[in-house]
């Protein structure tokens, strides 16, 4: 998985195309992400301890990782991600457009 939690992304296909957001969670087994304020669904909930009132609740649904592209923090453009090793042997993610290291 090239995309991690708290990365900023842009949706490149589907009904939410063009929207930007921050990754809330990643599911590597399903290859899907949950992104803040993207792909909102309505869920009918019974009253419970978590939702005392119950009713219709809006929440984020997952989106497949092939439908999103990461935004480089340096050049602020949607980009593909490459991997490279630093001199100490640590693997880091690299922007394919500006060749800057994305991981601190």
pLDDT, tens digit, 9 for 90 and up, residues 31-80? 999 999 999 999 999 999 988 999 999 999 999 999 999 999 999 999 99
Residues 57 and 100 in one domain: no
d(CA 99, CA 37): 30
21 in a structural domain: yes
Percent of the chain scored above 70 by pLDDT? 100
* Residue 50 located in a structural domain: yes
Domain shared by 65 and 83, yes or no: no
Hey, which residues does 81 pair with through a beta bridge?
Answer: 95
pLDDT at 1: 80
Domain identity same for 25 and 62: yes
| Count of domains forming the chain | 2
Domain region containing 93 = 79-104
pTM here?
0.88
Q: Are residues 96 and 58 in the same domain?
A: no
For 34-75, give the DSSP string.
EETTSSEEEEEE---SSSSS-EEEEEE-EEEGGGEEEEPTTT
- Percentage of the chain exceeding pLDDT 90: 95
The residues pairing with 40 across neighbouring beta strands, listed in sequence order, are 60
């Amino acid at each position: 998985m090239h995309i991690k939690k708290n990365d900023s992304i842009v949706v490149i296909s589907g009904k939410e195309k063009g929207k930007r957001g921050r990754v809330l969670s990643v599911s590597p087994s399903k290859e899907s992400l949950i992104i803040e304020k993207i792909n909102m669904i309505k869920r009918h909930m019974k009253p419970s301890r978590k939702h005392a009132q119950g009713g219709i609740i809006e929440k984020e649904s997952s989106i497949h990782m092939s439908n999103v592209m990461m935004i480089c923090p340096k050049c602020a453009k949607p980009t593909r991600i490459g991997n490279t090793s630093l001199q100490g042997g640590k693997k880091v993610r690299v922007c394919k457009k500006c060749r800057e290291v994305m991981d601190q």
